[in-house]
Amino acid sequence: MEVRQTTREDLDAVMKIYAQAKKWMKEAGNPQWQGNYPAKEDIEKDMAAHGSYVLVDDGVIVATTAILFGDDPHYRKIEGKWLNDEPYGVIHRTAVAGRGKGYGSVLIQYAQKQAMERGIFNLRMDTHEKNANMRHLMEKNGFVWCGTVWMDDGSPRMAGQKVLDAQK
């Protein structure tokens, strides 16, 4: 398996993964991503910021995510409290083509590596309260629930943070 930056040639495969994720969310009663989000423009914006990634397994794109560094406006206001106010990376728009294969954890581990290479020892993520799969993935990978943040449309998201071990 290899994690690499998304290229223009990857966009169709990435959008198919998002379409499958939207279908799974709808079937599970999760209203997250039931509109046009994430759109191709969102991925292109991540690509322009050098923050869009794909996971390739045996030559096939099997997962995608955004790993971004710097202040995220959605995380400025939280009902609750972040673990600290140190610099952080953000993991957004994570979707996998197959469940139960560990692809999500591979992407989180890659984000941790990217953060530590930049001297950043915090990651933040958010998800809809009805996104049981993402909540499980975050908990399994050591994220601590910190409170609620809000998206541009006013919808709430459960927000978590992980403090990375500088010794690793």
Three-state SS for 48?
helix
pLDDT of residue 120: 97
Spans in the chain with pLDDT lower than 70 = 166-168
User: From CA 116, how far away is CA 153, in angstroms rounded?
Assistant: 32
pLDDT of residue 99: 79
Which CATH code is given to the segment(s) 2-163? 3.40.630.30
pLDDT of residue 161: 98
Predicted TM-score of the model (pTM): 0.93
Q: What is the pLDDT of residues 36-72, one digit of tens each?
A: 899 999 999 999 999 999 999 999 999 999 999 999 9
Q: Which helix (H) or strand (E) holds 66?
A: strand 60-69
User: From CA 84, how far away is CA 38, in angstroms rounded?
Assistant: 29
pLDDT of residue 45: 96
Distance set, CA 86 to CA 71, 122, 143, 163, 164 (Å): 10, 7, 16, 10, 11
